[in-house]
Amino acid sequence: MRSRFLAASAGQREGIVATPKNDKHKKYVRYAVHCLDMVPATKNQDARAINREMAAEWLRLADTIAHPLKPIK
């Protein structure tokens, strides 16, 4: 699936890969899940809190991709 996005279309600089919004959303949710999966294995309370905060931020970013703000006219 990723291979279809690796080819740069005409007019784009080589090496830039376009990522559809849906793929970014899925990627951000996966990052959040990974952060939360690490919480039970982490003994340090500060590190656990950081993992939870990171998960919340990834989910906020995923939500921004899924529901972008509309410009005010």
Coil vs helix vs strand at 48: helix
Task: Indicate if the pLDDT at residue 1 is higher than 50.
Answer: no
pLDDT, one tens digit per residue, over 11-61 is 344 455 455 678 999 999 999 999 999 999 999 999 999 999 999 999 999
End-to-end CA distance of the chain: 38
pTM of the model: 0.66
Residue 15: burial class (beta carbons within 10 Å; 0-12, 13-18, 19+): exposed
The confidence score (pLDDT) of residue 58 equals 96
